Structure 1
Amino acid sequence: MLETFSQRLEWICRKIWILLQVFLLLLLELIPTFILQKSTSPVAQWIAGLSSIGIMVFMCWLAERKGLAIWDRKFLTWKGLGLVALTLLFTNLSTVLGHTIMDLQGIEDTANQIGIDKLLRMIPFWLAFVRIACQAAISEEIIVRGYLFKKLFEMHKILGIVVSGLVFAFLHGPTDLGSWIIYASPGFILAYLYYKTDYLIYPIAVHFINNAWAVLAFYYL
């Protein structure tokens, strides 16, 4: 009985430690944004850009060290690319559904997107691409899908898909039903994609393509 209690206590402590790591990594992921909120001067932009690159490298190193495999040698096959394309289709359909509901509510855009657009008006394309398209995709997938979904819910995958999807949505600050659908649906879909493939490169690729397209559209379309 004492041994069982000790094992349960160890399990609880391990899960609390994972949650603490998730919280600290989320703070780390936001450092470039904190810098740009204070200043968008050329020096601040370079510091934010270099910070983003450093964070990406650190996140990838940490993921591999913690047994969260990123690269799959089958990724560049028709099957691997097809999975990415199919997931992109479903995430975009969920986004269309969310925006349709927002239109019915008389809401023009999500609060998160309004904030991002405001930031993009003050920084150059290269920095937006590094910070939003690259770093956000890599960092958020490693933290939410790798740590939160796989590490925290290793024995309860369905619950992990639901919780990690809701946390992913919450991180983007939804304020209404439409924005919850826009952010939660991709969260569920990307978690399921990771569950089926067990490689982070797949949700990272989908997340990157979505973010990169949004950045390109803002600056050049």
Structure 2
Amino acid sequence: MRKLFHYLGNIAGIILALAAYSVLQTFYFFPRRIHKLLHLNVQIQCVMTALITVILLAVVFWLYKRQLREFNDWDFNSEPHWDWRRILIAVVGIVLITLLSYTMMQLVSGGKTISANQKELNRISLQSGNLYKIMVCFVAPFCEETIFRGMFFNTFFTRNTFLNKWVGILVSGFVFAYMHDPRLTKFILVYWVLGCVLGWVYMTTKDLRYSMMTHMAYNLLGFL
């Protein structure tokens, strides 16, 4: 029974983290909607968005660390957090995710079309301005890595085994892909590969900072 409550508690934490992420997306992707709803001037709205971001990101990461305090067979998030070997792994991850995403796009569409998710993001970017870049390059990688890598592994693949590592990478990669392409189009294969690379970085370094670094760098390259 205790194990069941622990499992349900972790799932509740994931749902809460997803809800916080959804709230943040609204503030960054639809600032005009927030403006009409709250009738705030631009400066106050920017301050409020920044404050809510800090609070909700802290909540999301606290939920993750709370899971680790209860059970952490993988020894995730252990100190020291920074070393050159893991930085190199993150760099390798950036190279892999860039090359594989390009290769998969060529295989599934010949590079001539984009996913429905990307079309929607392109549409949103036209109305949200610089807030869109902040969300995509910083806020989204932080939340998505914490939820789809950190909280996911510590809920569904808690035991430190070789099989759990690689099955977990594949499953977490697919969940990540499904959240980006719920219509299950051919582009889900592209997102699946991206999720698997990010999962590999996390499971190899045992620290979210490195998969976040890889994710942020990849998203930032899309604006260069």
Distance 2:176 2:102 in 1: 18
1:143 corresponding residue in structure 2: 147
Residues 1:184 and 1:19: Cα distance change in structure 2 (over 3 Å): same
Output one character per residue of 1:95-152: Cα deviation in whole Å (capped at 9) or x when no partner: 1122113324x86111111111111111232x22332211111111111111111332
Superposition pairs for residues 195-210 of structure 1, below 5 Å? 195-210=203-218
Structure 2 residue 9 is matched with structure 1 residue 34: no
Distance 2:193 2:78 in 1: 22
Distance 2:79 2:204 in 1: 14
Superposition pairs for residues 1-20 of structure 1, below 5 Å? 9-20=1-12
For 1:115, the aligned partner's letter is: E
Q: CA RMSD in A?
A: 2.6
2:171 corresponding residue in structure 1: 163
TM-score (norm 1): 0.79
Secondary structure of 1:39 counterpart: helix
For 1:18, the aligned partner's letter is: N
**C-alpha displacement at 1:63, in angstroms?**
3.2
**C-alpha displacement at 1:204, in angstroms?**
0.7
Equivalent residue for 1:109, pick from 110, 114, 131: 114
Structure 2 residue 151 is matched with structure 1 residue 132: no
Distance 2:92 2:186 in 1: 22
1:94 corresponding residue in structure 2: 100
**C-alpha displacement at 1:158, in angstroms?**
2.9
Residues 1:199 and 1:65: Cα distance change in structure 2 (over 3 Å): same
**C-alpha displacement at 1:178, in angstroms?**
4.1
Secondary structure of 1:109 counterpart: coil
Superposition pairs for residues 64-103 of structure 1, below 5 Å? 64-67=65-68, 69=77, 72-75=80-83, 77=84, 79-103=85-109
2:52 corresponding residue in structure 1: 51
**C-alpha displacement at 1:29, in angstroms?**
0.6
Do the aligned partners of 1:64 and 1:70 also contact (CA within 8 Å) in 2? no
**C-alpha displacement at 1:172, in angstroms?**
0.8
**C-alpha displacement at 1:27, in angstroms?**
1.4
Structure 2 residue 188 is matched with structure 1 residue 187: no
**C-alpha displacement at 1:94, in angstroms?**
2.0
- Aligned residue pairs, count: 204
For 2:96, the aligned partner's letter is: F
Do the aligned partners of 1:102 and 1:108 also contact (CA within 8 Å) in 2? no
Gaps (5+ residues) in structure 1? 1-8
